[in-house]
Chains A and B, each alone.
Chain A
């Protein structure tokens, strides 16, 4: 890694000290976060993605700050370093469906070179729902197995439905985006949205959109959710091809797949309870999302017909 002195010198800061060693830097120009990339291609992909997103949406994002020599990343012993603003105030999304919907629509309609990076592409497979009963049976009580099996059967039905919709719309080009984990990535700078990206590899599919829509529906309710979808639709055709593929992704039992993966490695029975509660919450949230999305698709279809 670079020394503090080298870092300050490279970026032209007069003063600076570590707030969190090697991660968070306090300078005369505000808090800056240091990110270490072990793969140059990943860093380059994110530089281009964030630059392009900022240009397309007019929104601020945690783009890479350039050095005094105009470099966007610095090579060091451990990999490549990039520097970003650290913003902590959360963006108030309530009643801002238009602004955020436009942002999301543009986000998911972005197309760019893949720069040869590894793209996460989660596949829906039936095998994901099979689990070694012996292994799991040892970790949970027998009374839970009934619940477990009921959910699994329902998941298989959901999976079949999702696959059939996906196959129907196989020709639709699936978006490749920087992964979104939560609405909390939206920060506030001078009344404007500042989108704080994660540093994960790009992903193909609708997981990010599903995550954000589900969170929105839970937080702000159905009418706000519809208003958001209407605005997204102006930039990313949800009422047409993408809507159905998104619906398929929402129907797929991702929460159960995740649950199975985690409980296979559990040691503490208390942890099982936590995971079960999480599954129950997510299951219900998925059901509500599918219901609301389906309703919006129906309403939109009817509007088009008229």
Chain B
């Protein structure tokens, strides 16, 4: 396919914004569009009609509640938020340069945590209490975790029968009991969550970004973060968004439990968790799904990692798991004190 043909859908999309591109650069699903009227980011994604209606609703709501830490979506000349071509959806944003150097010391994780806390605070809503809904969520998660544990136990049994173990298998077997301990911890916290919620007879939801990560944030030179990509945004417990964000932090750079605590404190300065939410947050973090995913990938050979790479990745995840264990202990020690 030649370049001209590939650009054609983009041409008819940009026509709806009255934009004549002078240069286009591709960054994955985002196209950087240079025009005489400025530089823009055109995102291409797939959404069903229900999903795009929700996406539009989210952006209108963010505007209405005055949450400004968002890269705005620009309407077409007809006032549409998105442009649809069958299942493919396009939306346009001004191009925000993502700064990594700032005018004064800025720690991106701290900014992101604080801004997410503000988002949660602005969208907090107490849900009508339904023990059935709670129980269903609880049972779904518990079943999934039990199933995953069983899968890993089977893998261990199979591996233990091997005469020679590969370095990856050996590493996993060495730490397997610890993963089981963490899975049990996750269940314990999950039980504490449901007991707490039942006792309180209420639970709350917030607007969760759904994919909070550095990749979905642009920093200006003053260190203000602007979130983008609300395609997976949902109304859910704040614990979900925080667990996703912390997991992302844990994987992106070295950290220790003090730092973890500091991020949590910063979050709670703006939006304090209820006790049961803290338990849920911790249960999400504690379950060693990330390690189990490495095992899946190793078994399926789908990532095509070399043995050394697979072992290195696994060891890194084990290290993170150990840190989470210390983080968990420090959070609940502090709370008990």
Name A's B-contacting residues (CB within 8 A).
Answer: 28-30, 51, 54-55, 58, 60, 63-66, 70, 72, 85, 189-192
- Whether B79 pairs with A72 at a CB distance below 8 angstroms is yes
Q: Given contacts A63-B78, A66-B78, are A58 and B85 in contact (CB under 8 A)?
A: yes
Q: Given contacts A29-B18, A30-B18, A60-B15, are A190 and B8 in contact (CB under 8 A)?
A: yes
Q: Kindly state whether residue B12 has any CB partner on chain A within 8 Å.
A: yes
Question: Contact check: which of A51, A63, A190 meets B12 at CB < 8 Å?
Answer: A190
- Whether B78 pairs with A190 at a CB distance below 8 angstroms is no
- Report how many A-B pairs have Cβ atoms within 8 Å: 38
Given contact pairs A54-B78, A72-B79, A189-B12, enumerate 4 new A-B contacts (beta carbons under 8 Å).
Answer: A51-B78, A55-B84, A72-B78, A191-B8
Residue of A nearest to B36 (CB): A28
Q: Kindly state whether residue B86 has any CB partner on chain A within 8 Å.
A: yes
- Whether A60 pairs with B18 at a CB distance below 8 angstroms is no
Contacts of A30 in B (CB 8 A): 18
Cβ distance B169 to chain A, nearest Cβ, rounded Å: 51
Cβ distance A92 to chain B, nearest Cβ, rounded Å: 14
7 CB contacts below 8 A, A to B, read A51-B78, A60-B16, A63-B78, A66-B77, A190-B9, A191-B11, A191-B12
Q: Given contacts A58-B84, A58-B86, A190-B8, are A65 and B15 in contact (CB under 8 A)?
A: no
- CA–CA, A28 to B37, complex, Å? 10
Q: Given contacts A66-B77, A66-B78, A72-B79, are A190 and B84 in contact (CB under 8 A)?
A: no
- CA–CA, A72 to B75, complex, Å? 13
- CA–CA, A10 to B111, complex, Å? 39
Cβ distance A182 to chain B, nearest Cβ, rounded Å: 23
Residue of B nearest to A47 (CB): B78
Contacts of B86 in A (CB 8 A): 58
Contacts of A190 in B (CB 8 A): 8-9, 11-12, 15
Residue of A nearest to B88 (CB): A58
- CA–CA, A28 to B19, complex, Å? 10
* Chain B interface size range: 10 to 19
Residue of A nearest to B85 (CB): A58
- CA–CA, A60 to B75, complex, Å? 16
- Whether B12 pairs with A70 at a CB distance below 8 angstroms is no
- CA–CA, A55 to B86, complex, Å? 10
Q: Given contacts A60-B12, A189-B12, are A66 and B79 in contact (CB under 8 A)?
A: yes
- CA–CA, A200 to B78, complex, Å? 21
Cβ distance A72 to chain B, nearest Cβ, rounded Å: 7
Q: Given contacts A29-B18, A190-B15, A192-B12, are A70 and B79 in contact (CB under 8 A)?
A: yes
Question: Residues 11-47 of chain B: 1 if any A CB is under 8 Å from the residue's CB, otherwise 0?
Answer: 1100110100000000000000000100000000000
- Whether A189 pairs with B18 at a CB distance below 8 angstroms is no
Cβ distance B50 to chain A, nearest Cβ, rounded Å: 14
- Whether A189 pairs with B77 at a CB distance below 8 angstroms is no
Contacts of A28 in B (CB 8 A): 36
Contacts of B85 in A (CB 8 A): 58
Contacts of A189 in B (CB 8 A): 11-12, 15
Contacts of A58 in B (CB 8 A): 84-86
Contacts of A66 in B (CB 8 A): 75, 77-79
Cβ distance B8 to chain A, nearest Cβ, rounded Å: 5
Residue of A nearest to B11 (CB): A190
Contacts of B84 in A (CB 8 A): 55, 58
Cβ distance B261 to chain A, nearest Cβ, rounded Å: 46
- Whether A65 pairs with B77 at a CB distance below 8 angstroms is yes
Cβ distance A268 to chain B, nearest Cβ, rounded Å: 46
Residue of B nearest to A27 (CB): B18
Cβ distance A189 to chain B, nearest Cβ, rounded Å: 6
- CA–CA, A55 to B82, complex, Å? 11
Cβ distance A103 to chain B, nearest Cβ, rounded Å: 14
- CA–CA, A157 to B50, complex, Å? 52
Residue of A nearest to B10 (CB): A190
Cβ distance B40 to chain A, nearest Cβ, rounded Å: 14
Contacts of A70 in B (CB 8 A): 75, 79
- CA–CA, A192 to B18, complex, Å? 16
Cβ distance B18 to chain A, nearest Cβ, rounded Å: 4
Contacts of A64 in B (CB 8 A): 78
Contacts of A65 in B (CB 8 A): 77-78
Cβ distance B74 to chain A, nearest Cβ, rounded Å: 12
- CA–CA, A190 to B7, complex, Å? 9
Residue of B nearest to A13 (CB): B18
- CA–CA, A51 to B18, complex, Å? 17
Best-surrounded residue of B11, B79, B84, B86 (most CB of chain A within 10 A): B79
- CA–CA, A51 to B77, complex, Å? 12
- CA–CA, A72 to B85, complex, Å? 23
Residue of A nearest to B15 (CB): A189
Cβ distance B81 to chain A, nearest Cβ, rounded Å: 12
- CA–CA, A30 to B18, complex, Å? 8
Contacts of B18 in A (CB 8 A): 29-30
Contacts of A63 in B (CB 8 A): 78
Question: Residues 131-172 of chain B: 1 if any A CB is under 8 Å from the residue's CB, otherwise 0?
Answer: 000000000000000000000000000000000000000000
Cβ distance A48 to chain B, nearest Cβ, rounded Å: 12
Which residues of B from 316 to 337 have beta carbons under 8 Å from A? none
- CA–CA, A30 to B14, complex, Å? 13
Residue of B nearest to A192 (CB): B12
Contacts of B36 in A (CB 8 A): 28
- CA–CA, A85 to B79, complex, Å? 15
Contacts of B9 in A (CB 8 A): 190
Contacts of A192 in B (CB 8 A): 8, 12
Cβ distance A190 to chain B, nearest Cβ, rounded Å: 3
- CA–CA, A29 to B75, complex, Å? 16
- CA–CA, A54 to B18, complex, Å? 17
